[in-house]
């Protein structure tokens, strides 16, 4: 069977995600090579991509919309990679007039051979990519740009640092990347193993969230948005397209209410573009969905009452 990303497919049929290439760090310290400055950096994202959407959410929550510009790519990606085009919810590149995101990668590292991924944090002054790791970008938005945005919002609280980091590892390995390990597997045993680990992790979260409103009680941290970006795509894409179909999120009372609760936080629903999400996965992954037919459902009802206000600890 042909792999979706052959360079990231192991001999045993397992999907192994490539490492992020660019890991420079923006700092609020004046001596930094990458100082935190308003209108210096630009964020390239896809609203279809859960990794990129986490940076979109952090940018919004930290009040950085007027500090860091953002351009959304066409959700339908082909063998040339992500493209800048005018369309509903996406646009041409106003910063560099790039036609494809690959141009940003090659401008930063001529001869780059990896996959061109989103998000990308671009420095307009040096005209290069600073960072393409969503984990790093989220931390920079929270910390380095704190003085330029909402300093009253802290998504990485110091008193939770160790437990937060440990939970994020669990979420990444079993849920965020777990859906891709199942969906991109090219052997039955690899698919089944990834799928079972995914649902065991979801079962664990269901128990945790049955007695507390958010992952750490009554305050929302970055880990909540990490899991949100996977959950909001689950029933529409991962359940059918990636064959993660033991259960749906709507079959989990706590997880479904938690998903609705987060989606109803101010400004968050605007970061969820289900048209982009479904068209990207069902049209782009033609090895998985050769007809490229995009399903009309399911109805998600994310605006319905969630009933979680009474939960705290």
Same domain, 242 and 186: yes
Same domain, 15 and 128: yes
Yes or no: say if 174 and 200 are a contact pair by the CB < 8 Å rule. yes
Yes or no: say if 239 and 252 are a contact pair by the CB < 8 Å rule. no
Provide the pairing of β-strand 120-123 with 128-131.
antiparallel
Residues 6+ apart with CB under 8 A from 45: 52, 53, 55, 56, 70, 71, 72, 73, 118, 119, 120
What residues are labeled active site?
49, 180
Same domain, 105 and 82: yes
d(CA 144, CA 138): 10
Residue 232 pLDDT level (bands cut at 50, 70, 90): very high
d(CA 73, CA 87): 9
Q: Quick check: 313 pLDDT over 80?
A: no
CATH, residue 198: 1.20.1050.10
CATH, residue 114: 3.40.30.10
- Total-model pTM: 0.94
Residues 257, 182, 262: CA angle, nearest 5 degrees: 20
Residue range(s) defining the domain that contains residue 190: 158-265
Q: Tell me the per-residue pLDDT of 35-60, one tens digit each, with 9 for 90 and over.
A: 999 999 999 999 999 999 999 999 99
Q: Tell me the per-residue pLDDT of 144-172, one tens digit each, with 9 for 90 and over.
A: 999 999 999 999 999 999 999 999 999 99
Q: How many CB atoms lie within 10 A of CB 301?
A: 10
Among candidates 86, 90, 87, 118, which has minimal Cα distance to 102?
118
Alpha-carbon separation of residue 297 from 186, 252, 293, 301 (angstroms)? 26, 19, 12, 11
Q: Tell me the per-residue pLDDT of 188-222, one tens digit each, with 9 for 90 and over.
A: 999 999 999 999 999 999 999 999 999 999 999 99
Q: Quick check: 237 pLDDT over 80?
A: yes
For the segment 97-124, the average pLDDT, to the nearest whole number, is 96
Q: Tell me the per-residue pLDDT of 82-105, one tens digit each, with 9 for 90 and over.
A: 999 999 999 999 999 999 999 999
Final residue in a domain of this structure, among 117, 148, 179: 148
Same domain, 15 and 144: yes
In a domain? residue 291: no
Same domain, 40 and 133: yes
Residue 123 β-bridge partners: 41, 128
* Number of structural domains the chain divides into: 2
Final residue in a domain of this structure, among 98, 116, 148: 148
Residue 8 pLDDT level (bands cut at 50, 70, 90): very low
Q: Quick check: 258 pLDDT over 80?
A: yes
Q: Quick check: 185 pLDDT over 80?
A: yes
Scanning 28-157, the segments in alpha helix (DSSP H) are 50-61, 102-108, 134-142
Final residue in a domain of this structure, among 112, 127, 148: 148
């Amino acid at each position: 069977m042909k792999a979706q990303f052959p360079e990231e497919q192991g001999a045993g049929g397992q999907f192994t995600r490539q490492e992020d290439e660019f890991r420079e760090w923006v700092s609020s310290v004046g001596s930094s090579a990458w100082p935190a400055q308003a209108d210096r950096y630009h964020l390239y994202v896809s609203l279809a991509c859960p990794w990129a959407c986490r940076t979109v959410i952090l940018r919004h929550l930290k009040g950085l919309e007027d500090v860091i510009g953002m351009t959304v790519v066409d959700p339908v990606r082909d063998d040339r990679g992500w493209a800048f085009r005018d369309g509903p919810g996406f646009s041409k590149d106003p910063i560099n007039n790039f036609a494809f995101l690959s141009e940003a990668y090659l401008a930063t590292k001529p001869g780059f051979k990896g996959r061109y991924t989103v998000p990308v944090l671009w420095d307009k002054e040096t005209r290069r990519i600073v960072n393409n790791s969503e984990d790093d970008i989220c931390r920079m938005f929270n910390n380095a740009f704190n003085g330029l945005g909402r300093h009253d919002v802290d998504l990485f609280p110091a008193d939770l640092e160790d437990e937060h980091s440990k939970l994020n590892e669990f979420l990444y390995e079993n849920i965020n990347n777990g859906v891709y390990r199942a969906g991109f597997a090219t052997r039955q045993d690899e698919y089944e193993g990834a799928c079972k680990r995914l649902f065991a992790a979801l079962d664990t979260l269901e128990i945790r969230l049955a007695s507390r409103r958010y992952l750490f009680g009554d305050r929302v941290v970055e880990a909540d948005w990490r899991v949100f970006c996977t959950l909001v795509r689950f029933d529409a894409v991962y359940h059918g397209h990636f064959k993660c179909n033991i259960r749906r999120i709507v079959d989990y009372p706590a997880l479904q209410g938690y998903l609705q609760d987060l989606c109803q936080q101010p400004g968050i629903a605007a970061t969820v573009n289900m048209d982009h999400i479904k068209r990207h996965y069902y049209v782009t992954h033609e090895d998985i969905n050769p007809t490229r037919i995009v399903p009309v459902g399911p109805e998600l009802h994310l605006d319905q009452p969630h009933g979680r206000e009474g939960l705290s600890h």
